Amino acid sequence: MSRTLRAGECHSVRLFHNSPRLTVSEWRGFDLVHTYQVILERTLSILIRFFYIPIKTMSSLRLMISRVAGSRVARGVGRPTEPVVLAVLLPQNTQSNTRTMASKAVTIENINPNILKLEYAVRGPLVIRAAEIEKELEKGAKKPFKRVIRANIGDAHAMGQTPITFIRQVLACISHPDLIDKGDFPEDVKQRARDILGGCGGGSVGSYTASHGIELIRRHVAEYIERRDGHPARWQDICLSSGASTAIKNCLQLFCNDLGGKKSGIMIPIPQYPLYSASLAEYGLEQVGYYLDEDSNWGLSTAELERALQEARARCNVRALVVINPGNPTGQVLTRDNIEAVVKFAHKHGLFVFADEVYQDNIYAPGSKFYSFKKVLTEMGPTYQELELASFMTVSKGYMGECGLRGGWMELLHLQPDVQAHLYKCISAMLCPSVLGQAAVDCVAKPPAPGEPSHELWAREKAGVLRSLAERAELIVDTFNTMEGFKCNVVQGAMYAFPSISLPAKAVEAARRAGQPPDVYYAFRLLEETGICVVPGSGFGQRPGTFHFRTTILPQPPLLREMLSIFKTFHENFTKEHS
């Protein structure tokens, strides 16, 4: 049975045979095949406007743009062994035989344009391809490797880190309260579970909590900050969140307001964690990048801040400054003097400061020490006591690594009361953070105290995790610095290395022919030939003419040593091939 289907009804794209389907909006963000994306979109536009396309089945419509284009894309994206169909267009609604693009309420033409601009490199095309390869391996495909090593994302437990016992015991007890009386758990675990359940409606973690989090836990977070900084903290200024990312995005929404016909600008470091560039694009905010100084171990220069600010003022109203300390993806730890200079800069220009401090427990290098922005600002005297600051913390990083629980918090400092009230109002519309995530926050903010039954094990586990991470940070830097064309700064903190690569001219030319940035070309070759998945530096931002990639230090030591050995062999072969 054949029917006539308007091309506009079909708007899912498959890059490879048997690969996950991408929407056209996702295809538009697929910068690795930009040239062929333009061809596809223009062709689709013509088809939609002028033609009806008959098909013999209701399940799919295969449209071959060009086998030549397909082979070019294949070489650039992943060099699959099968012939490539560049685009497979699939009916979005097979139950309706007469729906057309014009009758759809939401189309690519009328969707929020900010969504089309949004990109998130940490889970981008390389990661999509890595997932495909894993499925191919499961089906018995022959590869020059047996597994994919996901060094692309800071997910500690996925890379084999053992959970902290105290956290998991508390979670077990609050999830199944019968364990409090029947289970063989330490008394401090049982009491903590009782305390948390006492803040939950009906004594159940399945109930909603207050939108800003359980009051008891907010109080514990304030006490944690007081111990850390030596200065008072108000629990009313603490807002729990489903990970730090949610809190950061909530705060960014405060700036979604054009003033004097100009967008609001947010200063972010380059390289940066792609949450920021993605969120700015989503909210229609202007990105104002300031470069970190790679030659000074990714230091932050106030002269560079001034340059970025002054250049941006012609196009936007610069209203906020983001600082990531310890750095992601760069792994540096700011000195106290550096933080003081940033505070003075922000105060001088009336900027709101976002202090992304989620890696505050991850300090490795001798002589490095974490100072919170709040502590430094408070100790700089009354001149700076009105500077607006939001600082962020999470249970996903540190020694905990509880990414999937989605627990975090922010502390707000010196906001106008009515502004803070409106921010809390917006947060209330999201109901409440994950209650299990809140419980994990409580375990981090108030860990077992000396003398309590769980303290010794907790302290031993925490120290073991951080010691191992420090050893891995040193190993990865030392190994990369023995490789031709590599330069890797000391990983002072966080969970990543961000080495620079000097690529041969022939590799740069090969990347150009493939329609890819050189670091993307390198990363795809690495993935296809070794199974190692990293994130190209272009996904974080980098100075023009430089090439980097980010890898985590999270693989457990045996796997990390194996990964580095494979990596070294690959790089030697890649360099010979392109020399």
Q: What is the pLDDT of residues 499-532, one digit of tens each?
A: 999 988 999 888 898 888 889 999 999 999 999 9
Contacts 24+ apart (CB under 8 A), 383-387: 383/347, 384/343, 384/344, 384/347, 385/414, 386/414, 387/343, 387/346, 387/347, 387/353, 387/413, 387/414
For residue 445, give the amino acid letter.
Answer: A
pLDDT band at 102 (very low <50, low <70, confident <90, very high): low
Decide if pLDDT at 487 tops 60.
yes
Q: What is the CATH number of domain 125-158+460-577?
A: 3.90.1150.10
Decide if pLDDT at 48 tops 80.
no
Compute, in degrees rounded to 10, the torsion defined by CA atoms 349, 285, 353, 438: 170
Q: Express each pLDDT in 179-212 by its tens digit.
A: 998 878 999 999 999 999 999 989 999 988 988 9
Decide if pLDDT at 4 tops 60.
no
Decide if pLDDT at 39 tops 60.
no
Average pLDDT, the chain: 83
Q: Express each pLDDT in 378-424 by its tens digit.
A: 999 999 999 999 999 999 999 999 999 999 999 999 999 999 999 99
Q: How many helices (H) and strands (E) does the chain have?
A: 20, 20
CA distance 557 to 563: 10
Q: What is the location of CATH 3.40.640.10 in the chain? A: 244-394
pLDDT value of position 153: 84
pLDDT band at 99 (very low <50, low <70, confident <90, very high): low
pLDDT value of position 92: 43
Q: Cα 508–515–286 angle (5° rounding)?
A: 100
pLDDT value of position 70: 42
Q: Express each pLDDT in 65-77 by its tens digit.
A: 333 344 444 444 4
Reported as half-sphere exposure (CB side, CA atoms, 13 A), residue 433 has a value of 31
Decide if pLDDT at 461 tops 90.
yes
Decide if pLDDT at 215 tops 70.
yes
pLDDT value of position 59: 34
Which CATH number among 3.40.640.10, 3.30.1330.120, 3.40.50.11270, 1.10.540.10 corresponds to the domain 244-394?
Answer: 3.40.640.10
What is the widest separation between alpha-carbon atoms in the chain? 79
Q: Are 554 and 328 in contact (CB under 8 A)?
A: no
Decide if pLDDT at 10 tops 70.
no
The answer, as to whether pTM is greater than 0.85, is no
Q: What is the location of CATH 3.90.1150.10 in the chain? A: 125-158+460-577
Q: Express each pLDDT in 257-313 by its tens digit.
A: 888 889 999 999 999 888 898 899 888 899 999 999 999 999 999 999 999 999 999
**Of 7 and 399, which is predicted with more confidence?**
399
Q: Express each pLDDT in 533-559 by its tens digit.
A: 999 988 888 888 888 999 999 999 999
